[in-house]
């Protein structure tokens, strides 16, 4: 409810909770529909979908393995490891600079 959201924002602002700890998966818009349909079957907490990007849903714990076939994921694994396995601003900036983008219809 709204009160819970306000409390969560207050705790984040006070740096008493870290919302990055809730992100367990990342994916592009092409993974969005399937992710939503399979939410009950996908372990973990929050799935962060980058709507402007084209890549599959990947668990943060699987980034190193995914890096065997896609070097962007290997670097993302390293960046997350530097932050105790959590998603972070450096990883996000790297992702946005190196992952394929969706084609603009215009």
Residue-level pLDDT at 56: 96
Q: How far apart are CA 21 and CA 84, in angstroms?
A: 10
Q: How far apart are CA 92 and CA 84, in angstroms?
A: 15
Q: What is the pTM of this model?
A: 0.86
- pLDDT by position in tens, the chain (length 106): 899 889 989 999 999 989 899 999 999 999 999 999 999 999 999 999 999 999 999 999 999 999 999 999 999 999 999 999 999 999 999 999 999 888 755 4
Residue-level pLDDT at 1: 85
Residue-level pLDDT at 103: 75
Dihedral in degrees, nearest 10, Cα atoms 18, 23, 29, 33:
-130
Q: Is 29 exposed, middle or buried (0-12, 13-18, 19+ CB in 10 A)?
A: middle
Q: Which of 31, 36, 101, 37 is nearest to 66 (CA)?
A: 31
Residue-level pLDDT at 73: 97
């Amino acid at each position: 409810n709204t009160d819970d959201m306000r409390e969560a924002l207050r705790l984040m602002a006070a740096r008493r909770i870290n919302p990055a700890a809730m992100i367990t998966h990342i994916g592009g818009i092409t993974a969005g529909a399937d992710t939503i349909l399979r939410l009950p079957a996908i372990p973990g907490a929050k799935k962060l979908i980058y709507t402007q990007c084209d890549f599959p849903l990947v668990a943060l714990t699987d980034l190193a393995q995914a890096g065997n076939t896609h070097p962007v994921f290997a670097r993302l694994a390293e960046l997350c490891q530097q932050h105790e396995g959590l998603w972070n601003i450096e990883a996000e900036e790297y992702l946005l600079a190196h992952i394929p983008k969706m084609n603009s219809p215009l």
